[in-house]
């Protein structure tokens, strides 16, 4: 009888530990204009609080410093933000000037990001383009990659708390650190035209993914044109190529910035640049074609 109990107790213990593993907890909160979710092992709850504080502090800093610069273009922002602004040059160079943190000078004429939408006169768009080219009387917006930077910083604060496996997801731009107990982090890429569907499922470990789309911030003009928040800083127009662009990179900042930068490039240009940067890309074109570039498929394998 005692042998039977020992055996069954052993079996019970083995099965329970094998089946459950480490449990994870996700907390969601509103920040950076979207819902942020932080997932950490249940035993590391303080990491959620620390990362949330980090996100709130940096979000306020970005907002404050860009507002100061926008009021007075001769203002020099604090070190972290000055460095962040400098890194915008990477995407500007990559796109031959189509990406520009000062494209907010154009987008604000249309009412982005506040939402008082209207189509501006050609003359005012021309004036904005001229201001951007001369870097005078400009408005900057770091939204294209500051969210990614803040995600990376939040991950760093979680790492500083001694946590090895976690995910920080800010409205679909995310960093997946380490893995789940039994597998890598599994991420679905949403279909841009059908939100309940997905166009790819990828598995990440110590990698980031970000998606830019034309379907989340937009308005319909009186002439029926659909105008969204990404503008080419050389033409003042929306780029005409994609409904969504997703990028896998080693940091959330890079994934975030490249998703917008690639949005401004045609398919051929993207395939050349992503090869050079070694960043997998998933394009959903305006002709409803799904294009996987630079090793995207490798991440679809488990």
Partner 1 sequence: MKKNKSDLIFIALLLCGVVFFMFRGHEGEKRLYLINNNIKTELTLQKDFLKLDNGHVLIETSEEGARFVESNCPNKICIKQGWVKSCGDTAVCVPKHLALVIECKEQDYDAISQ
- Tell me whether residue 6 or residue 275 sits nearer to partner 1 (CB atom): 6
Work out the angle between the directed axes of helices 252-263 and 146-160 (0-180°, nearest 10): 170
Least distance from partner 1 to the Cβ atom of residue 71, Å? 25
d(CA 301, CA 298): 6
Q: Label residue 24 exposed, middle or buried (CB < 10 Å: 0-12, 13-18, 19+).
A: middle
Which residues have C-beta within 8 Å of that of residue 84, sequence separation ≥ 6? 62, 142, 145, 146, 149
Q: Which helix (H) or strand (E) holds 213?
A: strand 207-213
CB 168 within 8 A of CB 154: yes
- Tell me whether residue 19 or residue 162 sits nearer to partner 1 (CB atom): 19
Least distance from partner 1 to the Cβ atom of residue 142, Å? 18
Which residues would be at the binding site for partner 1 (CB under 8 A)?
Answer: 4, 7-8, 11-12, 15-16, 19-20, 26, 28-30, 33-35, 37, 39, 115, 117, 167, 169, 171-174, 176, 180, 185-190, 195-196, 198, 201, 209-211, 213, 215-219, 244, 246
* Alpha-carbon distance values, 279 to 145, 220, 261, 295, 296 (Å): 16, 33, 13, 8, 8
- Tell me whether residue 33 or residue 75 sits nearer to partner 1 (CB atom): 33
Least distance from partner 1 to the Cβ atom of residue 239, Å? 18
Least distance from partner 1 to the Cβ atom of residue 199, Å? 10
- Tell me whether residue 69 or residue 284 sits nearer to partner 1 (CB atom): 284
Least distance from partner 1 to the Cβ atom of residue 29, Å? 4
- Tell me whether residue 4 or residue 122 sits nearer to partner 1 (CB atom): 4
């Amino acid at each position: 009888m005692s042998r039977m109990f020992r055996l069954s107790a052993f079996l019970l213990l083995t099965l329970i530990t094998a089946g459950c593993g480490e449990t994870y907890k996700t907390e969601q909160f509103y920040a950076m204009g979207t819902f942020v979710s932080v997932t950490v092992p249940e035993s590391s709850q303080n990491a959620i609080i620390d990362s949330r504080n980090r996100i709130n502090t940096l979000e306020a800093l970005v907002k404050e410093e860009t507002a100061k610069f926008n009021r007075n273009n001769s203002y020099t922002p604090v070190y972290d933000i000055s460095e962040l602004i400098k890194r915008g040059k990477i995407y500007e160079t990559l796109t031959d000037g189509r990406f520009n943190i000062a494209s907010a000078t154009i987008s604000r004429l249309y009412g982005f990001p506040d939402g008082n939408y209207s189509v501006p006169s050609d003359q005012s768009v021309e004036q904005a383009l001229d201001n951007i080219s001369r870097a005078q009387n400009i408005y900057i917006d770091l939204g294209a990659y500051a969210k990614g930077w803040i995600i990376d910083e939040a991950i760093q604060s979680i790492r500083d708390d001694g946590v090895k496996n976690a995910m920080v997801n800010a409205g679909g731009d995310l960093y997946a650190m380490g893995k789940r107990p039994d597998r890598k982090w599994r991420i679905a890429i949403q279909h841009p035209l059908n939100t309940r569907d997905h166009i790819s499922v990828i598995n990440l470990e110590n990698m980031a993914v970000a998606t830019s789309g034309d379907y989340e911030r937009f308005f319909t003009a009186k002439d029926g044109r659909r105008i969204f928040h990404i503008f080419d800083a050389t033409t003042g127009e929306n780029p005409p190529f994609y409904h969504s662009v997703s990028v896998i990179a080693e940091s959330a900042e890079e994934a975030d910035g490249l998703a917008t930068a690639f949005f401004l490039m045609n398919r051929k240009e993207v395939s050349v640049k992503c090869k050079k940067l070694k960043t997998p890309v998933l394009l959903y074109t305006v002709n409803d074609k799904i294009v996987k570039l630079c090793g995207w498929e490798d991440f679809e394998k488990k």
